[in-house]
């Protein structure tokens, strides 16, 4: 009998809507049941998915609408059209978001880079789960490297993933770690990709996205390790397979995409030429607005031609910033890689420092339009930090801009990052300071609160593998 291999995950959450994601072992339909009682004796069928097919790896989403804002629900996601039985308790739960632009204080978690060391990996998610229950953490942002498809000795398949089934198998191994799966049953998640969902530091060599590339040092290392030829190259088909697996596991339960990429009639991710769209999206929690960037699928590096976001994504990002400038007192831009944290020893040039024109474009846009209360949420670096910069705004106004970074969940920490930190100077940046850096396994907590006048306060905490406080900053 078919069963859920992965999930359930609650995604796409809004005041009145939720997406329930799961991946099954075979064909079927996902049924989403909601209730208010702990034993789900009052369960009702709230939504169901389209038929699960082999084309999408038997993964799907059951959308549920007409929910009440800021309300806690119990739920079950099953392959059966029969309601869940009370003896199956305890059932997971979630809480819908408050009404849009309502000044509601909240806490959320974020981080990146999960590569379990062994079958017992993922213990840091137990610490997040404890804080979720103790401090009412409302959701988590997983902002890149949710799998390491290229880590052949850690990814559960013993080789670098090169086919669609192999990418799916890496997700199966990584996401089936009990602490990870348990946390995401009870904590709504928003996700985006970084490089290791495809391969280390991969990028396009042409704007038509027909020729991909990995760094020469990866090729040389794999040659010395006697890895087979298909693991030393990254043809178009491998990229498409990786992004299809990303779509099946992370993309399909995201909120409405800003400029959706091409998806064929079977619901599969298609690599269309040119600038067909991206995986970027936005959502809001009360008076806080979030824009989740896609920093990978449109990245082009060939000689002097270096671009990260594509003009299509720039257009929707800038439109969003102007739209939320005065409407939302807090704005978060989620980026898989650090923007303000520049390092003088950054050989790969894989972060925003490798794309200085686009980095400065964003900083100038914020400064020239006087857009304040913006917070960057970053990952990838394998160490955590808080950086505060001041931008030269209209009329000589100094606009603060914060970057909070949390990473890695479970990976080798980067002990050199703080020693090679190099602040930005000139242009729109008036001054910049590093508040702290922490090179341990960690996750981030962000606390947003409002005073009686509706003015926001945003505080960032970095927590270690046991939930201990490693550093804090904010205003």
Question: Residues 212, 341: one domain?
Answer: yes
Phi, psi of 47 (to 5 degrees): -175, 165
* End position of a domain, from candidates 97, 119, 149: 97
In tens, the pLDDT along 269-308 reads: 888 887 788 999 999 999 999 999 999 999 999 877 889 9
Whether residue 123 has pLDDT greater than 80? yes
Q: Do the beta carbons of residue 201 and residue 295 sit within 8 Å?
A: no
The whole-number average pLDDT for the span 129-143 is 97
Q: What is the pLDDT of residue 1?
A: 63
Tokens at residue 163, please? 């086919």
* Residue among 169, 179, 183, 172 nearest 120 (CA): 179
**Residue 291, beta-bridge partner list:** 282, 333
In tens, the pLDDT along 387-403 reads: 999 999 998 899 999 99
Question: Residues 185, 271: one domain?
Answer: yes
- The domain of 29 spans 1-97
DSSP state of 402: E
Q: What is the pLDDT of residue 203?
A: 95
CATH code of 67's domain: 2.60.40.380
Query: Widest CA span of the chain, in angstroms?
Result: 68
Question: Residues 12, 133: one domain?
Answer: no
**Residue 282, beta-bridge partner list:** 291
CATH code of 212's domain: 3.60.21.70
Q: What is the pLDDT of residue 135?
A: 95
Query: How distant is the alpha carbon of residue 139 from its chain centre?
Result: 12
Residue with tokens 């904010």: 474
Question: Residues 229, 116: one domain?
Answer: yes
Total tally of structural domains belonging to the chain? 2
Tell how many helices (H) and how many strands (E) occur in the chain: 7, 24
* Residue among 32, 93, 29, 84 nearest 60 (CA): 29
Question: Residues 189, 76: one domain?
Answer: no
- Three-class SS state of 399: strand
- Please name the helix (run of DSSP H) or strand (run of DSSP E) that holds residue 147, with its range, or none: none
Q: What is the pLDDT of residue 271?
A: 82
The whole-number average pLDDT for the span 256-273 is 81
Question: Residues 54, 153: one domain?
Answer: no
Cβ-in-10-Å burial (0-12, 13-18, 19+) of 90 comes to exposed
Q: What is the mean pLDDT of the chain?
A: 94
Question: Residues 399, 410: one domain?
Answer: yes
Question: Residues 127, 242: one domain?
Answer: yes
In tens, the pLDDT along 76-109 reads: 999 999 999 999 989 999 999 999 999 999 999 9
In tens, the pLDDT along 25-73 reads: 999 999 999 999 999 999 999 999 999 999 999 999 999 999 999 999 9
pTM, to two decimals? 0.97
Question: Residues 88, 237: one domain?
Answer: no
In tens, the pLDDT along 178-223 reads: 999 999 999 999 999 999 999 999 999 998 889 999 999 999 999 9
* End position of a domain, from candidates 53, 68, 97: 97
- Three-class SS state of 419: helix
* End position of a domain, from candidates 58, 80, 97: 97
Question: Residues 174, 156: one domain?
Answer: yes
Question: Residues 227, 375: one domain?
Answer: yes
Q: Which residues contact 99 (CB under 8 A, 6 or more apart)?
A: 15, 69, 70, 286
Q: What is the pLDDT of residue 32?
A: 98
Q: What is the pLDDT of residue 452?
A: 85
* Residue among 25, 33, 29, 97 nearest 61 (CA): 29
CA distances from 108 to 103, 135, 231, 411 (A): 15, 10, 38, 22
In tens, the pLDDT along 236-249 reads: 999 999 999 999 99
* Residue among 402, 240, 247 nearest 330 (CA): 402
Question: Residues 130, 7: one domain?
Answer: no
């Amino acid at each position: 009998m078919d069963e859920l291999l992965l999930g359930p995950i609650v995604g796409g959450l809004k005041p009145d809507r939720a997406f329930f994601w799961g991946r099954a072992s075979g064909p079927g339909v996902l049924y989403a049941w909601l209730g208010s009682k702990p034993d789900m004796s009052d369960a009702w069928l709230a939504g169901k998915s389209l038929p699960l097919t082999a084309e999408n790896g038997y993964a799907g989403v059951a959308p549920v609408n007409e929910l009440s804002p800021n309300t806690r629900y119990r739920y079950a996601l099953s392959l059966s059209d029969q309601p869940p039985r009370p003896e199956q308790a305890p059932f997971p739960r979630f809480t819908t978001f408050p009404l849009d632009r309502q000044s509601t204080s909240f806490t959320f978690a974020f981080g990146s880079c999960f590569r379990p060391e062994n079958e017992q990996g993922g213990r840091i998610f137990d610490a997040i789960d404890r804080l979720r229950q103790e401090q009412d953490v409302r959701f988590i942002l997983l902002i890149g490297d949710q799998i390491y498809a290229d880590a052949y000795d850690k990814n559960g398949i013993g080789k670098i993933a090169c086919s669609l089934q192999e990418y799916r198998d890496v997700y199966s191994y990584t996401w089936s770690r009990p602490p990870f799966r348990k946390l995401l049953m009870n904590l709504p998640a928003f996700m985006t990709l970084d490089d290791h969902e495809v391969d280390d530091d991969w990028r396009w060599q042409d704007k038509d996205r027909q020729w991909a590339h990995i760094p020469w040092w990866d090729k040389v290392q794999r040659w010395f390790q006697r890895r087979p030829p298909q693991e030393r190259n990254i043809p178009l088909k491998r990229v498409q397979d990786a992004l299809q697996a990303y779509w099946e596991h992370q993309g399909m339960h995201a909120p409405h995409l800003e400029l959706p990429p091409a998806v064929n009639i079977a619901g599969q991710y298609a690599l269309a030429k040119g600038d067909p769209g991206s995986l970027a999206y936005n959502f809001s929690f009360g008076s806080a607005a979030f824009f989740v960037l896609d920093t990978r699928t449109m990245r082009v590096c060939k000689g002097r031609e270096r671009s990260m976001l594509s003009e299509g994504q720039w257009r929707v990002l800038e439109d969003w910033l102007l739209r939320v400038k005065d409407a939302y007192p807090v704005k978060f831009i989620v980026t898989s890689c650090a923007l303000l944290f520049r390092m003088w020893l950054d050989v790969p040039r894989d972060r925003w420092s490798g794309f200085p024109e686009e980095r400065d474009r964003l900083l100038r846009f914020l400064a020239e339009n006087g857009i304040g209360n913006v917070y960057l949420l970053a990952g990838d670096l394998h160490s955590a930090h808080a950086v505060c910069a001041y931008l030269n705004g209209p009329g000589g106004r100094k606009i603060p801009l914060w970057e909070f970074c949390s990473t890695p969940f479970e990976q080798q920490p980067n002990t050199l990052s703080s020693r090679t930190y190099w602040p930005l100077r000139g242009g729109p940046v008036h001054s910049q300071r590093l508040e702290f850096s922490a090179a341990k396994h960690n996750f981030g907590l962000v606390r947003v609160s409002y005073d009686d006048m509706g003015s926001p306060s945003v505080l960032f905490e970095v927590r270690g593998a046991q939930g201990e406080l490693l550093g804090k900053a904010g205003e």
